[in-house]
Amino acid sequence: MAKKRIAIPVCKKCGEEAPADLKDKCSCGCANWEVKYSEEWAYGLVCPECGELLLPAGRRLPDEGEVRVLLPEDFAVRNTHNNTCRCCGTSLWAPSCKPRDDRILFYDTGKKKGKWKKISHFSNRAQKGRKTVWVMRNRERLYLKQNKITEEEVEEMDEYGPRRYSLTRFIKKQMKGYFDLAIFDEVQEYKAGGSAQGYSMADLICASRWQLALTGTIAGGYASDLFYTLYRLDPKRMKSKGYLYGSKGERRFIEKYGTVETVYELDEDIQFHSMSHGKAVVPFRCLPGISVMIFIDFLMDTALFLDLSDLSRYLPHLYEYVRFVPLEPEIRCEYVRIRHELKDTMKEDKKEKVLMGSYLQFSLSYTDMPYKRGSILSPVTGDIVAEPADFSELIAEGKLLNKERELVEIICKEQEEGRNCFIYCEYTGGDDAVTYRLKEVVEKNCNLAYNEVTVMESSNPPAVEREEWMHQKAMEGTRVFISNAKCVATGLDFAFHYLGKDYNYPTIIFFQTGYDMIKIWQASRRHYRLNQTMECRTYYIVSENTLQPDVVEMIANKEAATSAIQGQFSSEGLTAMARGLDPRVALAQSVAEQSEAKKRGLQQMMDVINIRNNQGKEAEEYREAPIFSELTGMQKAVRADDLTANLESMDGVSFLEFLGFAENTGDETEVEEKIVELPQEHINYEQEGYTKKSETDLLSLLGII
C-alpha cells in the first residue's frame, strides 16, 4: 500500500494510451509502451514488479471522472481486472501450495503468516451457496462491511491448496506427436474457452496426429458453442478466415454466424443527424441463433452426421407426447400473485434483477410442490420479497395433485403393457425437491413395492459408479427410476444386458423440464439405442397456464435449429435458427397463459418431430445390428479386462503358476518368454498397416530407464 502518482502506459510513438491488452498493438502499429505520470495522486496497492499503482487491467481508463486504484478488497477473487498489472503486464496471482518437504529440518513451522488469508461466506443475502475469497489480514472487517456480511457466516479456510499438475500438460510437453489418434467423446463438454476440460483437449490434440470428435449434440443453439471447438480441431482454417484465438475472435465469429445483442442508453440531447446510438450499456451479448453458413464453411468437408436410422433400419418407433394438466384454482391464484410481486420488485429496482433466477425457479417448480416452501429472499438486501402460501392440505390423507394423478395414470398404463419407466425431475435438491414425494405416490397408487421404485440422487452414487449401481437396482427388481435428467444424460443406456438377463426401460416421463437443450436432448434419447426392441415413448407432463409449456416449446425449437446444422433441414429448423432470444428472457416475458391454439401448436410440433423420428422405417421385425467385426471381417481384438477376468478367482499359488514362477518350472528363459507373451495378446500386431511403437520410448520419457 502506498500513495503515489498514477502511472498510465502510453505508446512511445504516438503517445496514445495503451490498449487494454498490452500484447496488442497501438492503432499506429507500434507495440512499445512507456509510462506516463498524471498529476493525480492516489493511495492503493502497488505492483511487486514495477512498483506502480495497480489500476484495473483489461480496459482503458475512463475519459472523465476519478481513476479507480485497486485496493485489497478488489482481490477477493481472481478476475480480468486484477489478473495483471496495467503498466507492465506482470501476473499478480500465484499458486498457494504447501512446501514439498514439511519436515522440521526443512520447514520452519514458526514462519510468519502471509499477508492474505482465505475465508468463506454466503454468495448473496438470500444465503444460497457459498463462495471462497481472499482478504488481507487486519482488513477483514472492512471487507465484511463493504459486502454487508456478518461475522457469524464467515468460515476460515485452509490457505494451502493441493499441489497438482495436469497429466495432459505433461503429455503435451513430453510426448508431442506420440499418439496416432485422439478420440474425444461428448465433445460438447469441452466447448468453453477457459475450462480445464478444454485445455486438456487442446493438449491431447498437440500429442496426436489425427483427432476424432464424437457428439450427439454438436451445438446448444448458440454460435459460441462451436468457436473454441473448431479452433482447437482446425486452427489453420480458423486463422485463414481471420479469426484470432480469444474473446476478440469469438466476437467476430458470433457476429457472422450467430446472433448478437447490444443494448444502448439513448442520450436525451442526441441530435437526429448524429451517427451515434448513445452509450452502450451492454456492449456485447450472444443470443441463441446459428447461421446455416457455419455448416458450409466449417462442417461440410470435415463432419460426418449419422443418425441411428443410418446404422439400422429395423429400430422400433420413437414417439414424443405432451400431456397438458389443468392447474388447481387455488394454486393458480397464488402462482399468479407471487409472479406479479417478483416482477414488480425487479421493475422498481434495477439491482433486484438478480431475482431472475428465483423468479424462474419459482415459476417452474411451485405448481409441482406448493407446500413446505420458504420465503423468497432478495440476493441484494436479504429482505423477504414474497412468501408463497402453503397448500399442504391438497396432499393430506393420500390426496394427489392433478399432475401427480396424470403421472400415475401414465405409469399404470405402461405397467399393464409390461413397460418399465424412468421419471425425470429438474429440481431434485433443496426445499423444492419432489423426488421422494413422487416415489411415495408411485408406490401407493401403482401397486409397486418399496424396492420397485428407486431414486437416483446426484451425489449418490458417484458418476463413475452410476451405471453399475443402476444395473444392480434393476436386477433387484426396480421397475421405476426417478432422477435428475442431468445424472443420466451421458453414458447410460436404458436397454442393457446384465448377468445373463435383459433389462429395458423404454418409457421416459419428464415430470419437470429445464431449459438446457443439450442435457434434455441427450436424456430424452437414453432409451432409444441400437439394441432396443420395444417401441420408445417420451412424455412431457406440463401444467396449463404456467411457464412449463413454454419450456417444452423452446426445447423443441432449439432441437429443430440444431438438427438443421446436423443435416436435417426443415422449415421449422431454419426459422428457429433465425430467432435470437435468450431463453431466460423468453420465459420471463411469457404471460403464462396458454390458449387452445397454442396447445394445438405445441402438439403439432411434437407430431412433426415424431414423423421425422420415424421417417423411412419399415414395418419389419427387429433385427440385431451387425457389429464391427461382422461387417469388416476383421478379427475381434482381445480386451485387456478379458485377459485378467480369471485372475480374481486365483489364489497365490495359482497366480505364481500362471506367471511361471512356481517351483520346478524350468529355466529362467522360459519364464521370460511367458511374461513377454502375455501383454501382446491385447493387440493383433499382424494386421496390415499396423506399426508397433517402441515401449522403451515411453519408459525413457518417464525416467524409468
The verdict on residue 465 lying in a domain is: yes
So what's the pLDDT on residue 563?
A: 59
The verdict on residue 459 lying in a domain is: yes
So what's the pLDDT on residue 506?
A: 96
So what's the pLDDT on residue 306?
A: 79
Indicate the number of domains in the chain. 5
The verdict on residue 384 lying in a domain is: no
Domain of residue 148, residue span: 116-156
**Please, are residues 327 and 546 in contact by the beta-carbon 8 Å criterion?**
yes
Question: In terms of domains, do 449 and 587 share one?
Answer: yes
**Which amino acid makes up residue 464?**
V
> For 63, which DSSP code?
S
Q: Give the end-to-end CA distance of the chain in Å, rounded to a whole number.
A: 52
Question: In terms of domains, do 560 and 672 share one?
Answer: no
Is residue 535 classed as helix, strand or coil in its secondary structure? Answer: coil
Question: In terms of domains, do 53 and 146 share one?
Answer: no
Question: In terms of domains, do 594 and 448 share one?
Answer: yes
Name the phi and psi angles at 331, rounded to 5: -70, -40
Chunked mean pLDDT (size 10), the chain, 705 residues:
86 82 78 84 89 82 72 89 87 77 52 79 79 89 86 82 82 89 91 88 94 83 86 94 89 87 58 45 66 85 79 80 92 92 82 78 89 84 86 91 95 95 87 85 93 90 91 95 91 91 95 83 88 91 88 72 53 43 47 54 66 61 62 56 53 56 48 42 40 46 45
Grid cell in block for residue 601: 401448436
pLDDT of 169-195, one tens digit each? 999 998 888 899 999 998 988 888 888
pLDDT of 251-268, one tens digit each? 899 989 887 777 665 554
The verdict on residue 553 lying in a domain is: yes
Which of 453, 425, 456, 429 minimizes the C-alpha distance to 441?
453
The verdict on residue 386 lying in a domain is: no
Count CB atoms within 10 A of the CB of residue 636. Answer: 10
The verdict on residue 443 lying in a domain is: yes
Question: In terms of domains, do 596 and 692 share one?
Answer: no
**Which amino acid makes up residue 405?**
R
Sign of CA dihedral 326, 328, 329, 333: negative
Question: In terms of domains, do 665 and 551 share one?
Answer: no
Give how far Cα 388 sits from Cα of 65, 303, 334, 363, 433, Å: 45, 50, 7, 12, 16
Which of 482, 494, 490, 362 minimizes the C-alpha distance to 424?
482
Average pLDDT over all residues of the chain: 77
Cα separation, 12 vs 22, whole angstroms: 13
So what's the pLDDT on residue 240?
A: 93
Give the burial string for 73-106 (b: 16+ CB within 10 Å, else e): ebbbeeeebbebbbbbbeebeeeeeeeeeeeeee
The verdict on residue 91 lying in a domain is: no
Q: Which of 252, 273, 307 is the last residue of a domain?
A: 307
Question: In terms of domains, do 258 and 283 share one?
Answer: yes
So what's the pLDDT on residue 34?
A: 86
Question: In terms of domains, do 151 and 172 share one?
Answer: no
Question: In terms of domains, do 195 and 279 share one?
Answer: yes
Is the bond preceding 283 in cis, omega lying within 30 degrees of 0? no
Half-sphere CA count of 13, side-chain side, radius 13 A: 8
The verdict on residue 99 lying in a domain is: no
Question: In terms of domains, do 174 and 209 share one?
Answer: yes
Cα separation, 67 vs 426, whole angstroms: 46
Element (H, E) at 197: helix 196-206
Question: In terms of domains, do 423 and 274 share one?
Answer: no
Question: In terms of domains, do 178 and 151 share one?
Answer: no
Verdict on whether the full-model pTM lies above 0.75: no
